[in-house]
Amino acid sequence: MNKFDSRNKLLVVVAILFASIVLSVVPLVNALNTPSLSSNMGSVGDIITVSVSGIPAGSRVSIYWDNISDTTLLSSTSGFTASGEYNVNITIPETNTGEHHIIVSDGTTSESTVFTVKPKNNGNTLPIDAILIFGIVAVIVATGFAGEFLTKKTGIPIFIFIILIGIILGPVLHIFPRESLLSTLPIFATLTLLMVLFYAGLGLKTQSVLAIGGRVFIQTTVYTLVSTVLIGTLGYFVLKWDFLQSFIFASIIGGEITAAVIVPLSASMKLEEKVVAFLTMEAAISSVFSVVIFSTLIDIRLNPTSNLFNAVSGIAMQFSAGIVVGLVLSLVWVYILYRFQKHKFTHVLTLSLVLATYSITEILGGNGILAVLVFGIIFGNYHLAIKILKTKMNLDNLQQQLKVFYEEISFLLETLFFVSLGLIFEIDIWFLLYGIMFTAVLLITRFGAVGVSTFKSSLSQQKRIIALMCALGLTPATLAILTVTYSLEYPDKFTLANDFVSIITCVIILTNIITAIGTVYYLWQQKKSKKNPLNNNS
């Protein structure tokens, strides 16, 4: 009997040892794991996400602050996924700064993790984030300033490098979150575009505008319409995009060249005055074409009852109203500036008049961008206003001051905007391939359009460099970001909006590279001609 009892005891001991070994090796199913946080540091009132896995099915999980009690309960919920995962947003309660514990309990066991509470900014000192932002902005602006020398020497647009800086700071290093920029970029982009076009208008001479205005209109019409149709067709048949979204995308990049790159670059290359005027006017008019066609297609997308007739009449109305309202306001503003030109803050007054021109024209149903360009042209050629107003005035001094002022303002805004464009870029090899495809379409179409618009004119001698000045910039970027804004409100109608931003960024970079290559080639040819004077006569 004793031998039997001893054997049983031995078996029990062996079974217990075996079970303990097995339990120590095999993980427990649905064991509560240490919670993870979307951020381990923040201030009172911040919202963070708590994630936990390994929760038994049907269990109720509660989240506590520092200790488990009714007064420290932050959240309590049940009903988990089959894998036992738990994700919930909590708000950091009023507490002292320093380290605190966020505790997750399923009623049986509990796990905790550390969260550090930072002091809120009380207005006396800048938070470290602001210091970082200001420091990065300082480096970016300094880079843009230094890049001006590179642009003048080599013809390579500095904005290529600035976009790449934005890509490094955004999608690569994640220093600036993409979502926080999307709500403010449309306004910022529009402001930048207005400043650039007003500055471009100041430099246009009426003689050049009248001499080549018809050819510019032909160039812009052919390039915009043909490229828009080809790109929209590619998007629909090749990439299998939604039909209307394909043509919305096409209207964003079809036929546009950016004044931000083309205007200063063509001037620094010392091209003929007619060529500079041609490119400047094309940049302005193509931006207007893009905005109007884009707005029309957006209206059709949001209001399916709209038809083609309404679209065409809408384009005509916006153009005519933009020109008429812009002309009337320009005459009024020129007279006001004449009366106040000796005051201290005339530059600031001019800025307010530019913004007023845009706002009033848009309210009256016209195109504000075109109106601002008209304002710039009228002020840059104020001698015409003298004849219309039948008065004597001299604005030469103020005109020169404003050219310098708006050149600097435009440069600052362009630099910061192109960085922002890089910040919201999404890295994907397919976006690059699509960008190459669409850039090829734009380049082929542009060469054809330039051949038509310069046929039997003195401009035909410069048609190669005109065609290669194809850099896209502010307008496509602005419209792409506006598409993302629409997608936040109508997610089912603009499903491709985020892809558009990244593809368009690729196209902007590629077209700027082509423009840089064309500029380097042109400058090399000029240098070669100077060394061989006989080539100039041939």
Looking at the fold, whether 97 and 141 belong to one and the same domain comes out as no
**CA torsion 506→512→518→519, rounded to 10°?**
-160
Residue 90 near residue 70 (C-beta atoms within 8 A): no
Whichever domain contains 444, its CATH number is: 1.20.1530.20
259 in a domain, yes or no?
A: yes
Quote the DSSP letter at residue 115. Answer: E
How far is 302 from 367, CA to CA, in rounded Å? 20
Looking at the fold, whether 238 and 310 belong to one and the same domain comes out as yes
Looking at the fold, whether 422 and 292 belong to one and the same domain comes out as yes
**SS3 of 100, please?**
strand
- 373-382 residue pLDDT tens: 889 888 988 8
pLDDT of residue 33: 74
Looking at the fold, whether 113 and 182 belong to one and the same domain comes out as no
Mean pLDDT across 340-351 = 87
Mean pLDDT across 428-450 = 95
Query: Tokens for 177?
Result: 């979150």
Percent of the chain predicted with pLDDT > 70: 81
pLDDT of residue 86: 72
How far is 279 from 220, CA to CA, in rounded Å? 10
Residue 321 near residue 361 (C-beta atoms within 8 A): yes
439 pLDDT more than 70: yes
pLDDT of residue 19: 57
Mean pLDDT across 472-480 = 86
16 in a domain, yes or no?
A: no
Write 136-140 long-range contacts (CB < 8 A, 24+): 136/169, 136/175, 137/416, 140/165, 140/415, 140/416, 140/419
What residue numbers bound the domain in which 71 lies?
36-117
Q: Is the model more confident about 123 or about 186?
A: 186
* Mean predicted lDDT score pLDDT of the chain: 80
Q: Which helix (H) or strand (E) holds 61?
A: strand 60-65
Listed residues 68, 86, 117: the one ending a domain: 117
pLDDT of residue 320: 86
- 98-113 residue pLDDT tens: 788 888 887 777 888 8
Q: Is 90 left (phi over 0), alpha (psi -120 to 50) or beta?
A: beta
pLDDT of residue 441: 97
- 237-287 residue pLDDT tens: 999 999 999 999 999 999 989 877 787 777 777 788 888 888 988 987 888
Query: Tokens for 372?
Result: 């601002």
Model pTM score:
0.67
Looking at the fold, whether 380 and 449 belong to one and the same domain comes out as yes
**Which of 94-103, 307-316, 449-458, 469-478 shows the highest mean pLDDT?**
449-458
Q: Is the model more confident about 457 or about 450?
A: 450
The number of folded domains in the chain is 2
Rg (Cα) of the chain, in Å, rounded?
A: 31
pLDDT of residue 239: 94
Alpha carbon 45 to chain centroid, angstroms: 30
pLDDT of residue 207: 67
Looking at the fold, whether 304 and 235 belong to one and the same domain comes out as yes
**SS3 of 37, please?**
strand
Looking at the fold, whether 42 and 172 belong to one and the same domain comes out as no
- 122-156 residue pLDDT tens: 544 445 466 766 777 787 777 777 766 666 666 56
Looking at the fold, whether 430 and 507 belong to one and the same domain comes out as yes
How far is 390 from 463, CA to CA, in rounded Å? 41
Q: Considering only CA atoms, which of 56, 52, 25 is closest in space to residue 38? A: 52
Q: Is the model more confident about 396 or about 438?
A: 438
31 pLDDT more than 80: no
Quote the DSSP letter at residue 64. Answer: E
* Distance in angstroms between the alpha carbons of the first and the last residue of the chain: 125
Residue 157 near residue 135 (C-beta atoms within 8 A): no
**Which of 86-95, 460-469, 479-488 shows the highest mean pLDDT?**
460-469
Q: Which residues pair with 113 in a beta bridge?
A: 102
Residue 538 pLDDT level (bands cut at 50, 70, 90): very low
**SS3 of 477, please?**
helix
Listed residues 117, 146, 170: the one ending a domain: 117
Residue 26 pLDDT level (bands cut at 50, 70, 90): very low
Q: Is the model more confident about 2 or about 476?
A: 476
127 in a domain, yes or no?
A: no
19 in a domain, yes or no?
A: no
Q: Residue 306 CB: number of other CB atoms within 10 A?
A: 15
Looking at the fold, whether 244 and 370 belong to one and the same domain comes out as yes
How far is 367 from 362, CA to CA, in rounded Å? 6
Looking at the fold, whether 171 and 217 belong to one and the same domain comes out as yes
Mean pLDDT across 345-360 = 92
Q: Three-state SS string across 152-189, please?
A: HHHCCCCHHHHHHHHHHHHHHCCCCCCHHHHCCHHHHH
Q: Checking DSSP bridges between strand 110-117 and strand 41-42, what pairing results, if any?
A: parallel
Looking at the fold, whether 511 and 390 belong to one and the same domain comes out as yes
pLDDT of residue 153: 64
3 in a domain, yes or no?
A: no
Looking at the fold, whether 95 and 144 belong to one and the same domain comes out as no
Whichever domain contains 80, its CATH number is: 2.60.40.1930
Residue 156 near residue 150 (C-beta atoms within 8 A): yes
Listed residues 89, 117, 145: the one ending a domain: 117
